[in-house]
Structure formats: structure tokens, C-alpha cells
Amino acid sequence: MKYFYLSGKFVSPARAKISIMTHAFNYGTAVFEGIRAYWNPEQRQLFVFRLQDHFKRMENNCKVLNLSLPHQWEGMCQITLELMRKNKVKENTYIRPICFQSRLGIGPKFGGKSDFAMYLLPLISRLDSDRAMRLLVSSYKRIDRSMIPPDAKINGSYVNSFLAGQEALKRGFDDAILLNLDGRVAEATGMNVFLVKKNRIVTPPPSANILAGITRDCVIKLAQKELGLRVQEKNVTIPELKSADEVFLTGTGAEIAPVGLIDKKIINRRKIGPVTRMLSDLYHQIVLGEIAKYHRWLTPVY
């Protein structure tokens, strides 16, 4: 990429730097989003997926840390599109906007002003892959809302996910499942958890200390409206998860990822299940702009 965005300017990646004294670098006092854009070569168009919803959420999350975006969500969407056009992006891309506490100096107390940055990375889609993930039930617990609001994408809180993910990788797994303080399933490291049991889909509720993701919302709507399946938000135990017909994860980065192993328990012969397959195929068509009634979820770049 030739351009990133920092402090109101489009700059080269080499110039997109902040001081090591920046408050957000020292204390994690920042809020971020992860947004996907999908290139459709037949239409010669790049579609950003649920762009408005991401910035509306970011606007709300900033309030948790008393941060302020430089513009309201409509203006942030326009900056994103301009950044992509300046980079002439014509491939699947990950967009990372960050609003951060920019005060210089030590001390975790609030003070100073907000700043904003955004960068782009090429990121291939894994929706064509049948590889099922191997998950470890982590010894680390998911952060509780009495500690840090789990439904806000606060940079510093992702140390929780990092520790669980690191534990899983060291033990030969792809990712981790975190339980909440009640011992129920919360989420994976930045991904929501779904299970399928007898054509019923179950996912932990917001009260389980999850971050209710935008991809999660899409999957719930698609399962109900397009597949006619019942979706239930309820607390889930590890035995329930391990006895499921199918398990899959959702997230902007993960998209819809099948799970084939939890600890030592094999799920669906380590293959992608029929419900997961249908949702994945449908999601793939939608993000590429191939289903007209879901164009409302897409923002064309060109």
C-alpha cells in the first residue's frame, strides 16, 4: 500500500508513526475495528462489507474510553473509501481503523486528546477452504464486564485473547475457546462461537461476556431468513459444545470457520458440516455482491 491515514492526512507507511510516549502505546487506551473489502473480478468492483455498521459501533465504543473520532460515522466511511481509492485497491483487503489516546507521557489517568489512524492489508478469504480448526479450551478466562466492557473493541483488552491464543499455539492447536467466570463458553480469540444440534443453531448470548460481532449478526439473520433454522442465544457448556453436530466460528477475519477438534474431541469427522457449508457459501455470495437483496450490506468503492 502506498498510503495509510494518520492525524487527518494520507501519508506513506514510512511516515505513519507515533511516539513511544503515546498513551495508547503504553496503556492500550484505543478502540479499533476490523473491516473487510472483497474484490469481485467479474464485476470489477470492490465491496466493503457492512462499512456503516462498523463505524457506528466504533463511534459507540469510543465513548467507553472518552475518545472522539474526527468525524461522525458518515465521514469516517468516506475517509475509508478515499484511502482505498488512493491505493487503487483491487484485491481482498482488511481495513484497520484505530482511534487512540494520543497524550504523551506516563500515568493511566485520562487526559489529552484523541487521534485517529487507519491502514490497509491484503487478506485472502478462507471461505473456499474446507480445513477445520483445532481448538483448545483455554485455562485463561474471558474478561468480565466488571473488569473491562467485553462488548467494546478496546485494544488493551485483547491481551486476554493473546494469552489464550498463545497457549493454544504452544500446545499444537489453531486457536482457543475462552470460558467466562461462570464456566460457560464465551468466545474464541476474537471470534464468536456457534454450534449446530439437530438443525438448531445455538450461540452464547451477550450476557456471556462476548463481543457480539457483526459477522455473528449476519449469520443469525441468514440462518433464520434464508435457511429457515431456529437460532437460540443461550449459555453453552463445554460438554454441549463437544457433543454438537457441527461447530463453527465467525468474525471479520475468520469469516465462517468450521471447527473439527475441541481438545481431544473430534467434531463431525473433522469436516465442514452441511449447515456450516450452506452459511459459508451464502456469505461468500453476499460479500461478492452476487445476491441483490443483500446489497444493502455492501459499499462499492468504485
How many Å apart are CA 53 and CA 31, to the nearest integer?
15
Q: CA dihedral defined by 149, 155, 159, 160, rounded to 10 degrees?
A: 30
Q: Is 258 in contact with 273 (CB distance < 8 Å)?
A: yes
251 CB neighbour count, 10 Å cutoff: 21
pLDDT tens-digit profile of 35-61?
999 999 999 999 999 999 999 999 999
Please list the residue range(s) of the chain that carry CATH number 3.20.10.10.
Answer: 133-287
Chain mean pLDDT for the chain: 96
How many Å apart are CA 32 and CA 156, to the nearest integer?
10
How many Å apart are CA 48 and CA 226, to the nearest integer?
22
Q: How far is CA 164 from CA 173, 177, 184, 210, 221, in A?
A: 11, 8, 16, 15, 29
Tell me whether strands 4-6 and 9-11 are parallel, antiparallel or unpaired.
Answer: antiparallel
Determine the pLDDT at residue 108. Answer: 86
Fold for the domain defined by 4-122:
D-amino Acid Aminotransferase; Chain A, domain 1 (3.30.470)
107 CB neighbour count, 10 Å cutoff: 10
pLDDT tens-digit profile of 144-182?
999 999 999 999 999 999 999 999 999 999 999 999 999
CATH code, 133-287: 3.20.10.10
Please list the residue range(s) of the chain that carry CATH number 3.30.470.10.
Answer: 4-122
**Residues with Cβ < 8 Å from 86, sequence gap 6 or more?**
2, 3, 10
Identify the band that residue 129 occupies on the pLDDT scale cut at 50, 70 and 90.
confident
Closest to 137 measured CA to CA, from 81, 180, 82: 180
| pTM, full prediction | 0.96
Q: Is 302 in contact with 40 (CB distance < 8 Å)?
A: no
Determine the pLDDT at residue 199. Answer: 86
